[in-house]
């Protein structure tokens, strides 16, 4: 529950923050990042231990994932310059083509609602809100409540003024009060959760929701190697395939060093090794039932099945007939053979509204041609196989300008006739 005193504190802190140069804010955030990238730092060590215990994710995976999330935060200066033309627009009016001068203003109070499938995600959005000179009211997920307050604590320890601009709390799902106070709302979750939050947000308050998405991999024939299979296995294993960027299926072009079926086996071999270093986390009863059902079906319909024995740790299911098959997740990857990667656009078209990331391996010319074709279908990101979980700092989440969706602009137009200014 949030109180009036909390809102008053955040408002006062935000007014002070608005007077600070954006580069000073970014410098403070970079000091926070340096702490988080030091694995011996007490807050970092506490976060690793609590997240691993609370989520069941492998400690090695949590550690690597936190590094990835914090490295993205360090790209905020470049992101602001890309989205706003110049981050200086947050400090003063800047010149634009045609003699127009423009200044950008953050939302004042950014309300963030996070899901718990990928630990560490709050770091970027909290830092972005502060960089936009806004206070942040943060609702962490019930399934992963530890990272956000620890990150806020580290901000306060590094820069008490910035720390005053943060408040982490959980409120009831149907409580509208925080959204009525917001200048913008940023939410992650299932599609029903996003819809429920949207209904609570008043008209005129900017709302950015990130719901369910589907991602997949495309492997060009020259890249169908054991090395590529090993990198793809890491994309599948990270966060136990729970992230929106995690591939559900890999389309493997025929004619490469490994046949599509051999490539599937190589992915399975790599998942065996990853299970030793990053064992898959615990499953809910529903997740286990879904995995068992998918395995049972695959035994009758697939051309090849590579399954962990004695448990549900991982599965690679191969089909020679191409089709898009959403995975039950939990390190369960479908692979299928295609004659040409150009055919993939038609295969994924029925899911166009949900498409997000493509993990690609192959020649750069093929990458660009495929990106154009899949971009028309709804894909918003093409990343290197093995790196899909570590998004580029300039990524436009779901194809939208990350900072640009949260700011309001004031434009001063030039005087064109003497005496009319």
| pLDDT tens for each residue of 254-281 | 999 999 999 999 999 999 999 999 999 8
Q: Which of 398, 62, 44, 40 is nearest to 215 (CA)?
A: 398
Mean pLDDT, the chain, integer: 95
Rounded distance between C-alpha atoms, residue 13 and residue 385, angstroms? 42
Locus of tokens 């492998």:
58
Q: How confident is the model at residue 109 (pLDDT cuts 50, 70, 90)?
A: very high
Mean pLDDT across 287-307: 95
Tell me the pTM: 0.93
For residue 141, give the DSSP letter: B
In this model, does residue 244 exceed pLDDT 80?
A: yes
In this model, does residue 314 exceed pLDDT 70?
A: yes
Q: How confident is the model at residue 393 (pLDDT cuts 50, 70, 90)?
A: confident
Q: Which residues contact 42 (CB under 8 A, 6 or more apart)?
A: none
Each residue's pLDDT tens digit, 62-87:
999 999 999 999 999 999 999 999 99
Annotate 172-203 with DSSP letters as a single string.
-TT--HHHHH-SEEEEES-HHHHHHHHHHSPT
Q: Which residues contact 168 (CB under 8 A, 6 or more apart)?
A: 138, 139, 140, 148, 149, 152
Mean pLDDT across 355-370: 95
How far from 45 is each of 37, 101, 117, 207, CA to CA, in Å? 11, 46, 20, 34
Helices within 18-135 (DSSP H only) = 22-36, 42-55, 59-73, 76-84, 122-131
Q: Strand 332-338's sheet: what is its strand order?
A: 304-307, 315-319, 332-338, 247-253, 214-219, 355-361, 381-384
pLDDT of residue 420: 53
Q: Which of 126, 75, 197, 95 is nearest to 406 (CA)?
A: 126
Each residue's pLDDT tens digit, 125-169:
999 999 999 999 999 999 999 999 999 999 999 999 999 999 999
218 neighbors 370 (Cβ within 8 angstroms): yes
pLDDT of residue 419: 58
Annotate 202-217 with DSSP letters as a single string.
PTTSEEEEE---EEEE
For residue 238, give the DSSP letter: G
In this model, does residue 30 exceed pLDDT 70?
A: yes
pLDDT of residue 418: 67
Rounded distance between C-alpha atoms, residue 343 and residue 245, angstroms? 21
Looking from the CA of 282 toward its CB, the CA atoms found within 13 Å total: 8
In this model, does residue 421 exceed pLDDT 60?
A: no
Annotate 346-396 with DSSP letters as a single string.
HHHGGGGGGEEEEEEES-HHHHHHHHHHHHHHT--EEEETT-TTS--TT--
pLDDT of residue 3: 83
Rounded distance between C-alpha atoms, residue 153 and residue 232, angstroms? 35
Q: Which residues contact 108 (CB under 8 A, 6 or more apart)?
A: 14, 134, 135, 183
pLDDT of residue 415: 87
Rounded distance between C-alpha atoms, residue 273 and residue 388, angstroms? 19
How far from 253 is each of 49, 147, 299, 320, CA to CA, in Å? 41, 40, 23, 11
Rounded distance between C-alpha atoms, residue 371 and residue 358, angstroms? 9
Mean pLDDT across 120-126: 95
Task: Please give the radius of gyration of the chain, using alpha carbons only, rounded to the nearest integer.
Answer: 23
pLDDT of residue 2: 61
pLDDT of residue 315: 97
pLDDT of residue 116: 85
């Amino acid at each position: 529950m949030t109180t009036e005193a909390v809102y008053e504190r955040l408002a006062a802190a935000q007014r002070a923050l608005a007077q600070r140069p954006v580069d000073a804010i970014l410098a403070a955030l970079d000091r926070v990042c340096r702490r988080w990238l030091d694995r011996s730092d007490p807050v970092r060590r506490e976060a690793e231990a609590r997240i691993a215990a609370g989520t069941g994710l492998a400690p090695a995976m949590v550690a690597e994932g936190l590094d990835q999330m914090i490295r993205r935060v360090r790209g905020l200066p470049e992101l602001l310059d890309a989205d706003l033309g110049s981050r200086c627009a947050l400090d003063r009016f800047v010149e634009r083509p045609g003699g127009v001068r423009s200044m950008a203003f953050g939302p004042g109070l950014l309300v963030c609602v996070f899901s718990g499938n990928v630990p560490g995600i709050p770091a970027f959005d909290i830092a972005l809100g502060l960089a936009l000179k806004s206070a942040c009211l943060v609702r962490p997920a019930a399934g992963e409540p530890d990272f956000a307050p620890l990150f806020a604590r580290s901000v306060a320890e590094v820069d008490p003024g910035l720390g005053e601009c943060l408040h982490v709390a959980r409120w009831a799902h149907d409580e509208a009060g925080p959204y009525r106070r917001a200048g913008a709302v940023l939410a992650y979750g299932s599609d029903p959760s996003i819809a429920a939050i949207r209904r609570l947000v008043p008209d005129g308050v900017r709302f950015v929701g990130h719901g369910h998405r589907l991602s997949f991999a495309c492997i060009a024939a020259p890249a169908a190697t054991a090395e590529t299979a090993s990198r793809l296995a890491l994309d599948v294993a990270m966060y136990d395939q729970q992230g929106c960027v995690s591939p559900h299926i890999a389309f493997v072009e025929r004619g490469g060093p490994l046949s599509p079926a051999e490539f599937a086996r190589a992915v399975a071999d790599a998942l065996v090794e990853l299970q030793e270093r990053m064992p898959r986390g615990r499953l809910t009863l529903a997740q286990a039932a879904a995995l068992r059902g998918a395995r049972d079906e695959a035994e009758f319909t697939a051309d090849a099945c590579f399954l962990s024995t004695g448990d549900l740790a991982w599965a690679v299911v191969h089909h020679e007939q191409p089709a898009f098959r959403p995975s039950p997740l939990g390190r369960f990857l479908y692979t299928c053979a295609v004659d040409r990667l150009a055919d993939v656009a038609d295969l994924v078209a029925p899911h166009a509204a949900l498409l997000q990331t493509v993990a690609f391996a192959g020649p750069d010319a093929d990458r660009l041609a495929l990106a154009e074709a899949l971009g028309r279908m709804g894909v918003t990101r093409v990343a290197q196989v093995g790196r899909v979980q570590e998004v580029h700092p300039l990524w436009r989440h779901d194809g939208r300008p990350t900072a640009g969706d949260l700011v309001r602009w004031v434009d001063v137009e030039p005087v064109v006739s003497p005496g009319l200014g």
